Amino acid sequence: MRKLTRFATPLFAVAIMSSVPFVALAQSSQNQNSAVQDWNTPPAGTEQAQQGYRDGIEAAKLDTLTKRKIDPKVSHLYVHPPVKGNAKEAYRSSFEAGYKAAIEHGITAPGA
């Protein structure tokens, strides 16, 4: 029993001390990921405006991938928004903001 205690106690202490940097690293990584993901979260607003922002991000990804002209105003969803009435302008401005945010952050492919 004494041999087990002599062997197990230092081993246990080393295991506890070595796990501290991993916990700190995991917390640091989590903070960086949330900062990176903030730009692709739609700003507060109507549901149509938030959808416009997300659609703008996706359109930028697709335009970059297919090597089309990088301009949100020539995108099909900008020209023909999937909303009606007064929501069109809010959708378009959010679409343009999402498109520009995606281009600024170097998004090049869907799922990136």
pLDDT of residue 9: 74
First to last CA, the chain: 55
Q: List the pLDDT tens digit at each of the 112 positions of the chain.
A: 677 677 677 766 777 777 666 555 556 555 555 555 676 676 777 788 888 888 999 999 998 888 888 888 888 888 888 888 888 888 999 999 999 988 888 775 555 4
pLDDT of residue 64: 86
Query: What is d(CA 59, CA 91) in angstroms, rounded to the nearest whole number?
Result: 14
| Residue 110, SS3 per DSSP | coil
Q: What is the pTM for the complete model shown?
A: 0.61
How far CA 19 is from CA of 12, 25, 46, in Å, comes to 11, 10, 45
Contact 107, 66 (CB under 8 A): no
